[in-house]
Amino acid sequence: MDLLKDLEYRGLINQVTDLEGLKKQLEEGQVTLYCGFDPTADSLHIGHLLTVLTLRRFQLSGNKPLALVGGATGLIGDPSGKKAERTLNEKEIVIQFSNRIREQLSRFLDFSGDNAAKTVNNYDWIGSLDVISFLRDVGKNFGLNYMLAKDSVESRIQTGISFTEFSYMILQSFDFLKLYENENCRLQIGGSDQWGNITAGLELIRKSTEGEAKAFGFTIPLVTKSDGTKFGKTEGGAIWLDEEKTSPYELYQFFINTDDRDVVKFLKYFTFLSHEEINVLEEEVRTAPEKRSAQRKLAEEVTQLVHGKEALSQAIRISEALFSGNIADLNANEIKQGFKDVPSFESSEKEISLLDLLVTAKISPSKRQGREDIQNGAIYVNGVRTTELDKVITTQDRIENQFTIVRRGKKKYFVIKYNN
């Protein structure tokens, strides 16, 4: 299918500097494009995924993607979408973040073949740039009024913006020029908040080539949710692509809980399902929303894409075990994922009465309440209802000798961790 038609169907075209010109360029042959990712943390988050997958869509259509890690711009801070100045990280930290992000990007792009992807780091050309050269060769191309009119700057005039962040636009523009010169890059893509930076880069290329260059800017909509809450945020914080920060199970649960009003949009954004497959799921949302087929498919596709088949299978196992109550079927690693945010208690006791454990671990507020909970069938050990007042928790009740899962009532889980 035609790339631009597919992007239009998926709602991924926000702004393009010259849509007809870009269409013609794509028809003429392979286009090299880039998107930048500043290393402000040691992992990309789910908000970055849309632009990463858009790079992948361009590559699957025969184009060559460049994933730029902002080793230099990450030291400066992008004012776009920010109400206040960033806290700047030390150079060593940014280098560490850059390496981690480069590794993550390699999961989604193909680095082999005729249109092999490539990672680049703007520290390679900005790091050695001296102040005089920067001001004379790059800065002279930017008028103050032009920069002040950009949304990323204008929105910060009242609250304040330092010269450091004010200069970010120039540095990103310089990135586009260097990639245009060194990699034959003709297209920059980014979120809609990057429009000002992208068009500034096009202006620098135009001035540097005396208007002869054919280069384009393309932005993708920022992801929004119908209920007004911010996409990619939960009570536990951001949804990260690093499984140590956000487990595959948590990622799976994040998408399986998608609102009916958003699920079709997210299927278009975050999956490579065909239009026909998405249209079928859209019809199911309309006629049988209680089945949540679209949400399940969305969660499966994204989890597998980010973490692989094995991690997806594990996420499904955890979900099914929690739904059915068959906790004993889970292994220790799955327990860590599924009960990451559950209250926990560390124990070194090889044997302890269930009643004493309920009180000591503050599962039940008192022995009297603990007895009532057990007798009323409100206590489950590893998914099994326990009504015996004289029940003793032993090493036989441990999962891989590391955990015992106690449930009180329908949903209140507690993790007993053993340190011996």
All domains in the chain, ordered by first residue: 3-220 (3.40.50.620), 233-324 (1.10.240.10), 344-418 (3.10.290.10)
233 is catalytic: yes
Residue 168 assigned ligand-binding role: yes
Per-residue model confidence (pLDDT) at position 141? 86
Which residue has 């302890």 as its token pair? Answer: 352
Q: In this structure, are residues 28 and 166 in contact, taking their beta carbons and an 8 Å threshold?
A: no
* Residue 128 three-state SS: coil
Q: Which of 17, 209, 234, 402 does the annotation list as catalytic? A: 234
Give me the DSSP letters along 129-162. --HHHIIIIIGGG--HHHHHTSHHHHTTTTT---
**Residue 234 annotated in active site:** yes
pLDDT-based confidence at 230, cuts 50/70/90? confident
- Annotated catalytic residue 82: yes
pLDDT number for residue 399: 92
For 17-46, what is the mean pLDDT?
92
Rounded to whole angstroms, the Cα distance separating 141 from 174 reads 11
What pLDDT shows up at residue 316? 93
Q: Check if the beta carbon of residue 156 is closer than 8 Å to that of residue 166.
A: no
Annotation says 45 is catalytic: yes
Listing DSSP states for 361-395 in one string gives TTSSSSHHHHHHHHHTT-EEETTEE---TT-EE-G
Q: Identify the pLDDT of residue 84.
A: 60
What band does 49 get if pLDDT is binned at 50, 70 and 90?
very high
C-alpha dihedral sign at 194, 198, 200, 201: positive
How far apart are the C-alpha atoms of 391 and 375, rounded to whole Å? 11
d(CA 406, CA 344): 10
Coarse DSSP helix, strand, coil percentages of the chain, rounded to the nearest 5 percent? 50, 15, 35
CA–CA separation, 345 and 239 (whole Å)? 26
To the question of whether residue 413 is assigned a binding role by annotation, the answer is no
Has residue 210 got a pLDDT over 90?
no
The C-alpha angle 305, 338, 238, rounded to 5 degrees, equals 60
Q: How confident is the model at residue 190 (pLDDT cuts 50, 70, 90)?
A: very high
- Does residue 225 have an active-site annotation? no
Task: For residue 414, give the DSSP letter.
Answer: E
Active site residue 193: yes
Q: Is 64 one of the annotated binding-site residues?
A: no
Asked whether 93 and 101 are in contact (CB, 8 A), the reply is: no
Query: Could you report the per-residue pLDDT of 309-366, keeping only the tens digit for each?
Result: 999 999 999 998 888 778 888 989 899 888 887 889 999 888 999 999 999 999 999 9
Beta bridge partners of 219: 15, 190
User: Is 265 known to sit in a ligand binding site?
Assistant: no
pLDDT of 235 strictly over 70: no
CA distance 272 to 219: 19
| 85 confidence band (pLDDT: 50, 70, 90) | low
Q: How far apart are CA 43 and CA 99, in angstroms?
A: 10
Q: What is the pLDDT of residue 417?
A: 93
Question: Which among 23, 56, 57, 82 is annotated as catalytic?
Answer: 82
The tokens for 261 are 């009003």
Q: Is 40 a catalytic residue?
A: yes
Instruction: Please tell me which residue in 230, 291, 350, 412 is annotated as part of the active site.
Output: 230
What is the rounded CA–CA span in Å between residue 357 and residue 110? 52
Q: Which candidate in 48, 186, 307, 408 is catalytic? A: 48
Q: Which burial class, exposed, middle or buried, applies to 362 when counting CB atoms under 10 A from its CB (0-12, 13-18, 19+)?
A: exposed
Question: 180 is written with which tokens?
Answer: 């245009």
For residue 417, the SS3 value is strand
Element (H, E) at 301: helix 293-307
Identified catalytic residue from 54, 73, 172, 337: 172
Position 236 scores a pLDDT of: 67
Q: How many CA atoms lie within 13 A of 363 on its CB side?
A: 32
- 409: CB partners within 8 A, 6+ apart: 378
Q: Which of 23, 56, 86, 417 is catalytic?
A: 86
| Mean pLDDT score, 79-98 | 71
156: pLDDT strictly greater than 80: no
Whole-angstrom Cα distance, residue 175 to residue 125?
Answer: 8
Q: Are 30 and 60 in contact (CB under 8 A)?
A: no
340 is catalytic: no
